Structure 1
């Protein structure tokens, strides 16, 4: 009998889905939640201010939630949110509750690790449009299938992350440069181009970056590129020229010299 191929079982929680969402209007301090005391099943929660103002607090402090902000939290964590005692207008909000999954949870955790729980979501932004589209599709049961629903959620979380990065360009150009390096190291971008995009001189960028992150931007760029190249050498059969280009190097020779200087041997010997 011909051997049958046994396909691996697919876990249902690979795909993210929305399991709750509504618009609410709150007018007094009876609207108050302490997440550390909640017993519901844990969920990814995204809550956007439509008008008025709410508050959110955790171990890092207390934050106002005016229009254009979003809070990201889970039940059972050490945080609280609600209607502030100083408010004089109704607090209108829109929330989405997302079933945790192996696709959505790492993105959600990365957002909060890098930017915290109080996030920017300006009206008219890509993230705001995706948030509202998911909300209305959930309300009308208008997702084609689970795959489309999970795709929208992944796009939403990615766009939320991008929005926070974009916000740092004018608020904190050095942090913006850090994100540029982390996101674009596989392209042949230079420190001069990064500094120019941040709106500062190359010398200013290097000095401020090195002081803040305890490493120079050039060292971080080299480390990311070389680590990416080393992993490709160890896990693929692609030629050296292709790996050099895919790792942000302008030529194979430049890549070879940098690799040997860092690891003590040529790229070919890594195989």
Structure 2
């Protein structure tokens, strides 16, 4: 069973993502205060998250509260200070300190999304991923730097996904609408689908649907639909002997010429050329997610 504890790892390998330290801690002293310009451990990146109580962080000339289920991302060195202010309740935190070129690259990316402050439920994938990582170290006693690097990278991918989603600021209702639209297109891509049909299925105005979809997916609904049709067509070309003109029809393309035009845009060759080039393109499927 996990309990408050912390672990540190020391090696000089900067070629891989490495864990410097990880921990779960109760803070009750106002001496807990760290300035990003003064720390000796330069080149590190830090994730810290509040389980209970409250702390504070000064970041870009603003003070942010760090109550329960709030965390932050910072680099060392940088201009910031996080601290405990001596409230009645101790500040209970978890943290992960990482280093290496890859850690800094990913941190630059997620901070660039304007997400220095994270608000995550305790049962979110990101926080549950932290606990899995903590358990590997505290309970299973894993210390091999390559194994830890792989585990840390898995957590970092959760972080990237979380920050991308937070930066979109998509509400729960909007996310439900988008998923409903995507599911409908995946299931009905062979049919003649229009924005009017799709928006009617989702129960919203088609212009609003397009705005939501663009913000959440960085593409349009019709482009998403075209991707699904192409995925299906590529799979049929590679795994069946169905005539090419029939494949186009089965996958929702209006005409053989239009199918050929779109196929060339995606694959820089005709459907016939793709079918013949099995050695160069042996894939049973190609996905455009």
TM-score of the superposed pair, with normalisation by structure 1? 0.62
Q: 1:209 to 1:140 in 2, by over 3 A?
A: closer
Structure 1 match to 2:38:
37
Whether 1:159 and 2:158 are equivalent positions in the alignment is: yes
Give distance in 1, aligned partners of 2:107 and 2:194: 30
Match of 2:50 in 1: 49
Report the counterpart of residue 72 of structure 1 in structure 2. 73
Deviations along 1:192-219, whole A, 9 cap, x unmatched? 6997999854321335778x89x98469
**Change over 3 Å in CA distance of 1:31–1:206 after alignment to 2:** same
Q: Structure 2: how far apart are the matches of 1:134 and 1:25?
A: 19
Q: Is the 8 A contact 2:174 2:212 kept in 1?
A: no
Cα contact 1:191–1:202 (8 A) shared by 2: no
| Equivalent of residue 208 in structure 2, options 195, 204, 222 | 204
Q: Which runs of 5+ in 2 are unaligned?
A: 1-11, 183-188, 228-233, 239-250, 271-289
Alignment CA distance shift 1:12-1:42 (3 Å): closer
Aligned to 1:120: 119
Aligned twin of 1:89: 89
Paired with 1:67 and 1:53, the residues of 2 have a C-alpha distance of 7
Quote how far apart the aligned CAs of 1:135 are: 2.2
In structure 1, distance between residues paired with 2:67 and 2:257: 53
Distance 1:55 1:23 in 2: 17
C-alpha separation between the residues in 1 aligned to 2:64 and 2:261? 49
The equivalent residue for 1:145 is 144
Shift of 1:150: 1.7
SS in 1 for 2:63: strand
C-alpha deviation, 1:144, in angstroms:
6.8
Tell me the CA shift for residue 52 of structure 1.
0.3
RMSD, aligned α-carbons: 4.8
TM-score (norm 2): 0.58
Deviation at 1:51, TM superposition (A): 0.9
